[in-house]
Chain A
Amino acid sequence: MTTISSRPLDSRVETPGRGGTRNPRRGRFRRHAWNYVFLIPMLLLFAGFTIWPMIASWWYSFFDWDGIGPPTEWIGAANFREILGSHAFWNAFGNSLLFSGAAIAIQMPLALFFALLLNNPRLRGRNLYRLLLFLPTVTTTAIVGIVFAIMLDPSGGFVNGLLQELKLVNQPINFLGSEHTALPTLIAIELWKDLGITLIYWLAALQTVPPDVRDAAAVDGAGRFQLLRHITLPILTPLAVVILLLTFQSSLNPFDLVQATTQGGPNFSTDVVSTYVYRYAFDPSVMAPQYGYACAAGVVFGVVTLLLTLVQAPLLRRRYLQTAR
């Protein structure tokens, strides 16, 4: 394999200028000046819509503030104390983690399984299957939520009708209205919906497995399972680490699905941190919004998520280095 460096060959050569020897850093900057110019819009947007809101939410979380006008009532860490002692917040937090846990434990392996099947060039119609599996991902979540709510309705819904018709159940199952079934139902919908994007990640990762290595192993007598275990999976591992982190992060925020189906109910059994924050900051039924408190909830969630990611990082890095060697 040939490695191509993107650095120009003369990048370390100093360029004499009008004033004699010039600063190499300055020269490098001038050489890439257009790149920096084109980066400016993105940097401005990133600063305005990502960095600034993040810093602002930290600042606002120290105020008793309704979101209108400048915050003036400094209350120190009172919002954080209230959140850390709030059973409702930790309930929402736990539910958010359950969404992520399910994505990692079920969605990732399932998507890998489908990716392995669909990566087979001899499979007829594989592009159609890929499309069908990816279709839910590009469907608007609110629509998905409404359609599932209608389908799963215990009073006249298609799924319960079918289950009763087939004599599989005597009473309709209250999928979204029961505390016992609502969360698993939403997790299942979310897994189905997001399977496509993880599938795409895995398919992309599978393209990095060199065919000649597989061919060589096959010539040496390796069977399908051995190829998978000793060739494909080890090569995929460094990318699997990235897919794991992406899946973990993206699955933490199922706001649109929850809001479109249960709004966090029944009895907060499907409440996640984003719906919790929304309730305090924007819900019109709460007549006096508590933006400061909502910001603090977001900050706590962000910090704990960051810590969880950092805890994973050394373990994943070790695994990454082992397999990348």
Chain B
Amino acid sequence: MDHTRLPRRALFRSAAAVATLGVGAACGVPGRKKSTGASVTLKIAIVPDPTGASDFYRKQFDTFSTQNPRIHVDIVENPTEQEVNAVSLMFQQGKGPDVYRAQGSAALDQFVQHGWAADLTPHASADFFSRFPKGSMDPKISGLHRNGGLYSLPLVAGKAWGGSLLCYNKAILNDAGFSSPPSAWSQLVDMAKQITKRGNGKVYGFAPQTSVAPDVGSFQATAGPSSIGSTGIDYRSGQPAITDRSLLDTVEMYRNLQHQKVMTPGWESWDGTRAYTEFAKERLGMYVAGNWHINEIVTLNPQIQIGIAVTPVPDSGRAGYPGVGSTFQPIWSMSAKSKHPAEAWKLMEFLVSPEFQRAYFEKFRSFTAVESAWRSGVKLSPTEQAMLTVEDTQIKSAPDPSVSRPGGPAQLITDLRGNPDLSWGPAAVAAITRNQDFGSKAASLNSSLGGFLRTDMKKLTARGMKVAAADLAFPSWDPLSNWAPGSR
């Protein structure tokens, strides 16, 4: 090999070139794209869900730009599961979007805490609020407010994201000799057994929704306070209640179904799409579906005879309803760092306009937050009508300290949700799949939960976020009725 000597000048030039490139890259040399005149480009971070959303949003934002010729909308798409992380990183790099999907209550807490979400209160007029159902924008229950300020706007109706429905295949039930869905737990078990027996390994009577069986919580909510299913705490007393009969009995029902090989084998490794896929293939008689599953099922199998019913209740009678702590799930938020707040607000307003919400409903058949978009002037299918009836029947408002008691209590619940080791879910699934007693595991978890709450209360209080056990208690709450915001 011939070793050519590098002249000192050439070496310095090369080093200078490398350094210039590096500094240029690090400083983010401005692109060539320049805004012309008074035109404004907004950046919005969305997720490509449900199927077809990318194309839908592009068309909608083109419509928005036609209505507002000065404003162009650039879309940043993040995978749904990574949206919150991706938007957080964008903000940390100083390149946050003007408008973004905040993806729910816990994530909105983070965005507000870090000063990345703008308070929309100054923009929102009484006329703006009038497009939402009456009373739903009360800061104590909206789920969109933090410390009295409005920090997010909704996409879908509150009950549509909070509810769960018993979805059943009419043809499979008919073949097994049943003309109506089960209304009690024992009926569900008997019908599921019968369908599985007749199915001969090809059709099964019942299956959990995913490998973590979130539907155990749906059944628990018919047997006791729904807060036990969501946090392990009974909000009537503010005390840990994983050992409550409502949860123990629900897990026991699932354990028996599993032990008797009634449920679809393999559910232990199912992801979020598998249950509705199995149902659409007509290999599953019944399961507790999320609202958005229904449209996916109908898309996969338009011929399916789908039925919707309320979740069966214990044989001893109903002792609670699935509860929603807030009327909406926070979805759209605006950046507090946006250089174009007026234009960004216009885009936010567009996202909850009756036109956009109607278009969203027509495309995805999800009940949107602005109910006028689908309550009138739209023909609902019998299945959609059944969904509405079930939601109106079985979902009640329930207390949630993270919504109605900002500060220490809300932070305590956030800390609890961030600690997966205190969730009863994995222990319940282990009891179901291993055919073990859940009671002893529940007692141990209950004790751990109590310890965590006491420690975290002390920690938060020391930080100036005062919180006591009483802050988790809503003594006047009746799990069989709608909870009135503001009551203790």
Listed in ascending order, the chain A residues whose CB lies under 8 Å from chain B are: 6, 8, 30-34, 37, 40-41, 44, 66-69, 88, 149, 153-156, 164, 172, 174, 176-179, 182, 261-263, 265-268, 279, 282, 284-290
Contact B266 A289 (CB under 8 A): no
A31 with B266: CB separation less than 8 A: no
Q: Which 3 A-B pairs have the closest CB atoms?
A: A288-B418, A287-B106, A177-B268
Q: Are B110 and A33 in contact (CB-based, < 8 A)?
A: no
Interface 0/1 of B182-216, CB less than 8 Å to A: 00000000000000000001101000000110000
Which residues of chain A come closer than 8 Å to B204, judged between CB atoms? 155
Q: Is A37 a contact partner of B266 (Cβ separation < 8 A)?
A: no
In the complex, residue of chain A having the shortest beta-carbon distance to the beta carbon of B419: A288
The interface residues of chain B lying within 8 Å CB-to-CB of A285 are 420
Q: Which residues of B contact A68 (CB under 8 A)?
A: 88, 92, 110, 114
Q: List 19 A-B contacts (CB under 8 A).
A: A6-B1, A8-B3, A37-B18, A68-B92, A153-B266, A155-B283, A164-B201, A172-B201, A174-B268, A262-B269, A266-B268, A268-B426, A279-B420, A282-B82, A282-B85, A284-B84, A284-B103, A287-B417, A288-B417
* Residues of B contacting A156 in the complex (Cβ-Cβ under 8 angstroms): 202, 283
Q: Which of A40, A44, A172, A266 contacts B269 (CB 8 A)?
A: A266
Residues of chain B at interface, number, CB under 8 A: 47
* Most-contacted residue by chain A among B11, B414, B433 (CB, 10 A): B433
Among residues of B, the one whose C-beta sits closest to the C-beta of A157 is B266
Beta-carbon nearest neighbor of B421 in chain A: A88
CB distance from B337 to the nearest CB of A (A): 14
Contact in complex: A32, B269 (CB < 8 Å): no
Least CB distance from B20 to A in Å reads 13
Interface of B is mostly: helix
With A34-B4, A172-B265: A266-B15 Cβ-Cβ less than 8 Å? no
Cα A148 to Cα B475 in complex, Å, equals: 52
Minimum distance in angstroms from B212 CB to a CB of chain A:
8
Choose among A32, A266, A289 the residue that contacts B3 (Cβ–Cβ < 8 A): A32
For chain B, residues 82 to 106, give those with C-beta under 8 angstroms from any C-beta of chain A: 82, 84-85, 88, 92, 103, 106
| Bound complex: CA A287 to CA B110 (Å) | 9
| B105 → A minimal CB distance (Å) | 8
Pick from B268, B278, B418: contact of A178, CB under 8 Å:
B268
Contacts of A286 in B (CB 8 A): 417-418, 420
- The interface residues of chain B lying within 8 Å CB-to-CB of A267 are 426, 429-430, 433-434
Expressed in whole angstroms, the Cα–Cα distance for A34 and B103 within the complex equals 51
B268, A265: Cβ atoms closer than 8 Å:
yes
B265 is contacted by which of A30, A33, A177, A263 (Cβ under 8 Å)? A177
> In the assembled complex, how far is the CB of residue A236 from the closest CB belonging to chain B, in whole angstroms?
31
B264 within 8 A of A: yes
- The proximity string for B residues 263-305 relative to A, scoring 1 for CB distances below 8 Å and 0 otherwise, is 0111111010000001000010000000000000000000000
Partner of A37, one of B15, B201, B418: B15
Residues of B within 8 A of A (CB): 1, 3-6, 11, 14-15, 18, 22, 81-82, 84-85, 88, 92, 103, 106-107, 110, 114, 201-202, 204, 211-212, 264-269, 271, 278, 283, 414-415, 417-421, 426, 429-430, 433-434
A155 touching B6 in the complex, CB below 8 Å, given contacts A37-B11, A267-B430, A282-B85: no
User: How many A-B pairs fall under 8 Å by CB?
Assistant: 110
Contacting residues, chain A, for B202 (C-beta < 8 A): 155-156
**A37-B11, A68-B92 known; A290+B114 contact, CB < 8 A:** no
Q: Which residues of A contact B103 (CB under 8 A)?
A: 284
From known contacts A30-B6, A31-B5, A33-B11, infer whether A44 and B22 are also in contact, taking CB-CB under 8 Å.
yes
Closest to A281 in B: B85
Question: Does B269 lie within 8 Å of A149, measured CB to CB?
Answer: yes
* Known contacts A156-B202, A177-B266, A288-B418; is-contact A263 B271 (Cβ 8 Å): yes
What residues of A have a CB within 8 angstroms of the CB of B22 in the complex?
44
Which residue in chain B gives the minimum CB-CB distance to A161?
Answer: B201
8 Å CB contact of A266 from B271, B418, B433: B433
| A66 touching B110, Cβ below 8 Å | yes
Known: A33-B5, A33-B6, A288-B110. 7 other contacts (CB 8 A): A30-B6, A31-B5, A41-B18, A155-B204, A263-B269, A265-B268, A279-B420
A287 and B266 contact, CB distance less than 8 A: no
- Give every chain B residue within 8 A of A149 (Cβ-Cβ): 269
B269 touches A176 (CB 8 A): yes
Complex: A236 Cα to B88 Cα, angstroms: 51
> What is the CB-to-nearest-CB distance from B79 to chain A, in angstroms, rounded to a whole number?
10
Quick one: which of B267, B414, B418 contacts A177, CB cutoff 8 A?
A: B267
Cβ-defined contact, A289 with B418, below 8 A: yes
Q: Report A-chain residues with C-beta under 8 Å of the C-beta of B271.
A: 263
A288 touching B106, Cβ below 8 Å: yes
Contact B106 A154 (CB under 8 A): no
- A196 and B414 CA atoms in complex are apart in Å by 47
Point out the residues of chain A lying under 8 angstroms from B18, CB to CB: 37, 40-41
Contact: B418 with A290, CB < 8 Å? Answer: yes
- CA A289 – CA B417 in complex, angstroms? 10
**Residues of B close to A67: CB separation below 8 A:** 85, 88
| A164, B201: Cα distance in complex, Å | 11
Interchain CA distance A34-B5 in the complex, whole Å: 8
- CB contacts (< 8 Å) of B82 on chain A: these are 282, 284
With contacts A261-B269, A266-B269 taken as known, whether A284 is within 8 angstroms of B81 at the C-beta atoms is yes
Chain B residue at minimum C-beta to C-beta distance from A86: B421
Complex Cα distance, B81 from A279, in Å, reads: 12
Chain B residue with Cβ nearest A38: B14
Q: How far is the CB of B286 from chain A (nearest CB, A)?
A: 15
